[in-house]
Amino acid sequence: MFKPLALIATLFCTATLTLAQSLAPTTFPKEFPADAQTPDAKALSARLGDRVFKATGPNGLGWRLDIKNSGFLFLDLSNGLRDDGPWRTEDGKLCVNYRGRIPAGCNEVRLVGDTVLLKTRAGEVVTLVQQ
């Protein structure tokens, strides 16, 4: 005996559960991996300069960082916020003096092979993906 209403209800529940799981916040680590290396300021500057990186934060917000060797960094967020300012490196840190709404400050950075990891101000570790 075929019960179309039961089939529709089952499909709806399955689709709803799948959607809810895909929209659930992703858990980001609070600590760098044990094998992460702390680059010195010069090596970090060479690794970041004249490159574009993208990342997705714990809240799902997308970031695009355009880091210029000229000493300026341009940040675009997926919510439309944009900011820029001069950047510099310290041992294991990327520092930016944003000129707009984002407060100036430094973020810890570690390297695992060619992978760049950045700790957000909220303490989550995100991967910067070179474009």
In 2-61, the DSSP E strands lie at 51-56
Give whole-number Cα distances, 42 to 56, 91, 93, 104, in Å.
26, 8, 11, 21
Cβ atoms < 10 Å from Cβ of 128: 21
Which of 25-39, 44-58, 100-114 shows the lowest per-residue confidence on average (mean pLDDT)?
25-39
In the predicted model, what is the mean pLDDT of residues 21-40?
81
Q: Which domains does the chain have, with CATH numbers?
A: 41-130 (2.40.128.640)
Rounded to whole angstroms, how far apart are CA atoms 4 and 22?
27
Q: State the pLDDT at residue 20.
A: 41
Q: pLDDT of 61-85, one tens digit each?
A: 999 999 999 999 999 999 999 999 9
DSSP 8-class letter at 105: E
- Token pair, residue 106, equals 């430094």
Cβ atoms < 10 Å from Cβ of 130: 12
pTM equals 0.78
DSSP string, 69-101: TTSEEEEEETTS-EEEEEEEEETTEEEE--SSS
